[in-house]
């Protein structure tokens, strides 16, 4: 087999959470470009429809599913819709996430809990639901963050805790499922990419912070993260299991 063929997702069905916009919508299109049919799951219907239209332009099947990852029943329903729509489910991209920047002494309990419920518990409920139906050879890719590994520019205790927890969850689920069920579980830890969260920071301050903490000295581009997600979702990474791949311009190794 040609090595490039190992990156193909032809014949695979992928479910992407948080796919109504931003990085998640980008992942969905990239996975479709690699040959997958894609189930897009998020709370915002309009964004899902737009992402689905982009996937259809690539020539792949798309199914938009409104869901709330904090509800285990909704996660199971989304997975069932994927199976009903395409016959099987081979890859889960746990991307749904919420970011806040609140000083710890002023963060309300409900603010902290909401971040944990979406970023950590939501990923767990969706992985749990997906693993019930995934065949051997499947893959789960959790979208963590470099802030689960290193300090943040902003006060983000809830976000950092949720992403560090997601990295730990990745290791444990892989320990349970990779050998026994044939489901590899890995994570990607993105550095600073353009998003709603980074747009709230004055550009010059963020630029200076990135320049001083990363070796490449710049923000990442969507395609650079897409490539890592497709890699971990595809057979190209068939001997990689339980790892967190930092895509951060050298920030965590600086």
CATH code of the domain containing 168 = 3.40.50.720
Q: pLDDT of 10-26, one tens digit each? A: 999 999 999 999 999 99
Q: pLDDT of 116-126, one tens digit each? A: 999 999 999 99
DSSP state of 136: T
**Total tally of structural domains belonging to the chain:** 1
DSSP helix/strand/coil, 116: helix
Percent of the chain with pLDDT over 70: 96
Do residues 13 and 86 touch, judged by C-beta distance below 8 A?
A: yes
Q: Name the pTM for this structure.
A: 0.95
H-only helix segments in the chain: 22-33, 45-58, 72-86, 109-116, 122-131, 157-177, 196-199, 203-213, 222-233
DSSP state of 97: -
- Residue 210: per-residue pLDDT: 86
In a domain, 254, yes or no: no
- Which residues carry out catalysis? 159
Average pLDDT on 83-109 reads 94
In a domain, 10, yes or no: yes
- Residue 254: per-residue pLDDT: 63
- Sign of the torsion formed by the C-alpha atoms of 175, 132, 62 and 98: negative
Q: pLDDT of 38-51, one tens digit each? A: 999 999 888 899 99
Q: Which residue has the tokens 């069932």?
A: 80
Q: pLDDT of 196-218, one tens digit each? A: 666 656 677 778 888 888 899 88
- Residue 45: per-residue pLDDT: 84
Average pLDDT on 57-65 reads 97
Residue range(s) defining the domain that contains residue 42? 3-247
Average pLDDT on 124-134 reads 98
User: What CA–CA distance (Å, rounded) separates 80 from 68?
Assistant: 14
Phi-psi region of 217 (alpha: psi -120 to 50; beta: other; left: phi over 0): left
């Amino acid at each position: 087999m040609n090595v490039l063929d190992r990156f193909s997702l032809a014949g695979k069905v992928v479910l992407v959470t948080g796919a109504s916009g931003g990085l998640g919508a980008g992942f969905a299109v990239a996975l479709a470009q690699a040959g997958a049919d894609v189930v897009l799951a998020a709370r915002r219907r309009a964004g899902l429809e737009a992402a689905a239209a982009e996937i259809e332009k690539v020539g792949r099947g798309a199914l938009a599913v409104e869901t709330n990852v904090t509800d285990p029943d909704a996660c199971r329903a989304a997975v069932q819709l994927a199976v009903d729509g395409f016959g099987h489910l081979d890859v889960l991209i746990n991307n749904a996430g919420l970011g806040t920047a609140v000083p710890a002494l002023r963060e309300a309990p409900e603010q902290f809990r909401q971040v944990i419920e979406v970023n950590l518990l939501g990923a767990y409920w969706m992985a749990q639901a997906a693993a019930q139906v995934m065949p051997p050879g499947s893959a789960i890719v959790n979208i963590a963050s470099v802030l689960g590994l290193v300090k943040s520019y902003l006060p983000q205790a809830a976000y950092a805790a949720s992403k560090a927890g997601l990295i730990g969850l990745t290791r444990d689920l892989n320990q349970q499922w990779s050998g026994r069920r044939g489901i590899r579980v890995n994570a990607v830890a993105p550095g600073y990419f353009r998003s709603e969260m980074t747009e709230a920071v004055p550009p010059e301050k963020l630029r200076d912070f990135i320049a001083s903490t990363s070796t490449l000295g710049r923000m990442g581009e969507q395609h650079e993260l897409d490539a890592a997600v497709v890699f971990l979702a595809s057979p190209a990474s068939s001997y990689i299991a339980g790892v967190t791949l930092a895509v951060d311009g050298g920030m965590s190794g600086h």
